[in-house]
Amino acid sequence: MDRAFCLVYIMIMNYKVKIIIFLLLVGAVLLIIFLSKSDRSEEQQQSQTTQQPNQDLAQQPNSFEFTKLNPLFRFSAQLPSNVTAEYVPQIESISINNKEEPQIFIRYFTGNEFLTLSTVDILSRKPTEIKGHAAIEYEIKKKPNIADFPFQPSWRNEQHKLIDIRLTNNDPSIFYVFAYNPKLSEATFREFIDSLVFHNDKQSLVQPIRQAERRVTKKPFGLYVEPGQSPVAPERFKGFHNAVDYEILAGEEKKNVEIFAICGGFLREKKTAQGYGGVLIQDCLIQDQPVTVIYGHIKLGSVTKQAEDYIIPGEKIALLGDADSSETDGERKHLHLGIKKGLSSDIRGYVQSETELDDWIDFTALIE
């Protein structure tokens, strides 16, 4: 009897223990599912908020900026899906890879003319135009007696196609070589090429400030002013305004007003200058010519970029200086945006003759 009772008792206990263990397991599984779901939604939120500040201003949001790998590669493009762009420092090239192997390989050279290496046989050559840039499509094959190209994908040693694209019409110019894996579909490659935006083209330009169109209310490009004859009082300057002034909107007097780079180019200088207070000077290329871009009346303390840093179009570069302070050299809070043709040390805000205005560019007319 005792023995039988004992067995029954153990069976009941086991049954209870089993139910408890089962319930604990179900609970644990439910908890894991719940936690992983809340993790994922947090990740989603994070990826939504880690957008770059320029995304709402850039003309092509979500494009990849190749200058981040090396500022010589002055363009952005939409990458094909499931690839990453990597810099190959040994030969100053960019490799766009999927999980298996490189799909697009980008090199550059500087010169006055298109050129091809003597190490390859040219199977076809077709002059064309990509986004208004002179270009040549090639099909090539490495000569059999030539050693494999070091640090390049293996298919570069086989027969494959590529496009050379000239950056500017000036001599010398940078030329970019976009070669692609024979396994990559021509349509995917074409899509990538068609998405290129060069930091020289009108398409790459970005407004310097949010709601820019509403702000040019006092001093547009070319306006003649002198004390007593100006939309601004008191006026201390005299001459033709060789820039565009962007005013603050109602309520922005005490708020941070962000300023964005209008073009892609190196920051040349950040300094205090008479008439401006804080000023940034950037070297850009706009429609085949080098230009000097002047952002005046800015808060130097807000500028994190250093001289010689490459700034991408639409990148946040500064806050406006406070009114009537050293940041604006005593002026009202506003942005003065000047563009001088050529790489120049001339950062005047006014010129004394109308013909001199020809050396300057009206950004509002350019970005229309």
**Six-digit token string for 15:** 């049954």
Which residues, other chains included, contact 67 with Cβ-Cβ below 8 Å and sequence gap of 6+? 73, 74, 75, 199, 264, 310, 312
Look up residue 128 and give its two tokens: 């064309």
Least Å from the CB of residue 157 to Zn ion: 57
Angle at alpha carbon of residue 296, lines to 291 and 300, rounded to 5°: 110
Nearer to Zn ion, 108 or 276 (CB): 276
Residue number, 94 or 335, with CB nearest to Zn ion: 335
CB nearer Zn ion, residue 107 or residue 340: 340
Query: For residue 246, what are the β-bridge partners?
Result: 335
State in angstroms the smallest separation of the CB of 301 from Zn ion. 21
Residue nearest to Zn ion (CB): 336
Nearer to Zn ion, 189 or 360 (CB): 360
Find the shortest distance in angstroms from Cβ 357 to Zn ion. Answer: 13
Closest distance to Zn ion from the beta carbon of 235 (Å): 11
22-58 in b/e burial notation, b at 16+ Cβ within 10 A?
Answer: eeeeeeeeeeeeeeeeeeeeeeeeeeeeeeeebeebb
| Footprint of Zn ion (CB under 5 A) | 243, 245, 336
H/E run at residue 337: strand 334-341
Instruction: State the nearest-atom distance from the C-beta of 337 to Zn ion, in Å.
Output: 8
Per residue in 150-181, is it b (16+ CB within 10 Å) or e — as a string? eebbebbeeebbbbbbbbbeeeebbbbbbbbb
Closest CB to Zn ion among residues 270, 336: 336
Task: Tell me the closest approach of the beta carbon of residue 243 to Zn ion, in angstroms.
Answer: 5
In this complex, which beta carbon is closest to Zn ion, that of residue 161 or of residue 336? 336
Query: Could you give the CA distance from residue 362 to residue 324 in angstroms, rounded to a whole number?
Result: 26
